[in-house]
Amino acid sequence: MNRFLWPLVGFAALVVLLAVGLGLNPRDVPSPLVGKPAPAFSLPVLGAEQKFGPADMQGKVWLLNVWASWCVSCRQEHPLLVELGRKKVVPVVGLNYKEVRGDGETDMAKTDAASEERMARQKAAGWLKQHGDPYLLSVLDLDGRVGIDYGVYGVPETYVIDKAGLIRMKHTGPISPDDLTKKILPLVAELNK
């Protein structure tokens, strides 16, 4: 009897673990950066000859939204962001991620840095002109190094950053209306108290 009991217990434990795993949301990727300072950067601003970094938002609660014109999922959340930007509930800063390198259409071995930045500015600005611009400003992460610092798995991703510059939430994937009204905006309201 004991000969069959332990394999049966092991099989039952495996079934329970699989059932729990199937019930989890694959987009809920924990970030080790939550509760820690937002990584510093200084990147060129789209549509301006200046640079921007998180220190420029010190004292404000804000969202950092990682996007790219080649990102199909970004189109899903973009109307929601445009509406949010129109209402001015919270400042949203765009981190345009690998605008040229990410689309896979350009031979980067034949593209110098100045050409890459010029192409990125044209593509990103054109996309925002066509679909609406929800951002306070958007910065160009041409090589994706800032994205690496933030632990970006893919676009879109959104970070809620508090007045002290700490990352308070990371949202992976497109923001849904439920995500915005039930998680992000309540957190923003709490952080603004």
Q: In the predicted model, what is the mean pLDDT of the chain?
A: 92
- For the stretch 36-64, pLDDT in tens is 999 999 999 999 999 999 999 999 999 99
Structure tokens at 36: 């820690």
Structure tokens at 146: 């800032």
Beta strands, E only, 81-136: 92-97
- For the stretch 68-96, pLDDT in tens is 999 999 999 999 999 999 999 999 999 99
* pTM, two decimal places: 0.85
First to last CA, the chain: 63
What does the pLDDT read at residue 28?
61
> Does the pLDDT value for residue 16 go beyond 90?
no
φ/ψ of 170, rounded to 5, equals -125, 130
The DSSP secondary-structure symbol of 100 reads T
What does the pLDDT read at residue 122?
96
- For the stretch 118-174, pLDDT in tens is 999 999 999 999 999 999 999 999 999 999 999 998 899 999 999 999 999 999 999
